[in-house]
Structure 1
C-alpha cells in the first residue's frame, strides 16, 4: 500500500508545474531555485501559450508552398535581394584583401626562419603550416562568396 501511495505521489508530482523561488542574500546576490530557502519568495509566472490561431497583424499571406513563411511583394523582395547582394560583394572584397595579405604573410614567413627555428625545423614547419592554413581558409571563403553571388 505504501508503494502504491509513493508511486501515485511521484506520478502526480510530474504533472504539476514546479514552483520557482527567488532568494536575495545579504550581499545582494540573487539565486533562483526550485527549493524553498528561508527568506525566499515564490515567483508566479503566467502559463505560456502555444496557440497560434490568428493571422499576423500586417496581413501577410502564409502560403503552404512557401512552408508557411510570410509572402512579400516583388518590390520588397527585390530591395532585400539588392541589399543582400551589396553585403555579399563587400564581404567578397574584404575576403579578397585578407587573402592577399595572407598570401604575402605566407611568402614572407617561408623566406625567413626565426631565431629558435634555426635549430628546431619542426617549429618552422608548424608556423608555416598555420600561415598556409590561413591562406586556404581565405581561399575557401572567397570561393563560397563567389558561388553565392553566382560569379565564376
Structure 2
C-alpha cells in the first residue's frame, strides 16, 4: 500500500468523522414575519437555539417505580382469571390435538397412494400443517405449565 492510498483512506475517514460531529451540532429555528419556519445549523438573528437530539439524550438509569396507589387485584379476582385462562388454553390444546390427528390421517392416506404431482403438493401442505399443529401444541403445553 503506497503513500497515495493511505492519504486517500485518511481523507475518507476524516469525512466520516466530520459527519458524526455535525450530527450533534446546534440547530436554530427562525420564524419570519409571514410565519414561515426555517431550521438551520447557523446562528441567525432572531432565531431560537434548539438542543439537538444527541445533546439532550440522557440514559435512563433507574427503573420506573410502582406507585403506591396503583390498583392491585385481590387474590379472588386473579384466581378467577387464571382459571378462565387455563380453561381457554385447555380448549385450544384439545382443538389443536384434534386437528393434528386429522392431518396425520389425511397425510397417511395421501402418502400411501401418491400418483401425481398434485398429490405431492398436497402432501407438502399437509406436512407443513402437521408441523404447525405440533408447534402450537408445544406452545400451549408450555403456557399451561406456567399457570
TM-score, with length taken from structure 1: 0.50
Shift of 1:149: 0.4
Give matches, 1:2-151, under 5 Å: 5=32, 8-11=34-37, 64-65=65-66, 70-113=71-114, 117=116, 121=117, 123-150=118-145
Deviation sequence 1:48-100 (CA, Å, 0-9, x none): xxxxxxxxxxxxxxx9449x973100111011101110111111111110110
* Greater share of residues in helix: 2
Higher relative contact order (CA 8 A, sep 6+): 2
CA distance in 2, matches of 1:9, 1:113: 75
Q: CA deviation at 1:8?
A: 4.8
Displacement over 3 Å in runs of 4+: 63-66
SS in 1 for 2:120: helix
Partner of 2:11: none
- In the TM superposition, what is the alpha-carbon distance from 1:10 to its structure 2 partner? 3.3
Cα RMSD (Å): 3.1
What is the distance in 1 between the residues matched to 2:86 and 2:125? Answer: 32
- How far does the alpha carbon of each residue in 1:19-58 deviate from its partner, in whole angstroms, 9 at most, with x for none? xxxxxxxxxxxxxxxxxxxxxxxxxxxxxxxxxxxxxxxx
Q: Note the C-alpha offset of 1:124.
A: 3.5
1:33 match: none
Give the Cα–Cα distance (whole angstroms) in 2 for the partners of residues 8 and 71 of structure 1: 54
Shift of 1:113: 3.0
Structure 1 unaligned regions, length at least 5: 13-62
Structure index of larger Rg: 2
Distance across 2 between alignment mates of 1:131 and 1:69: 49
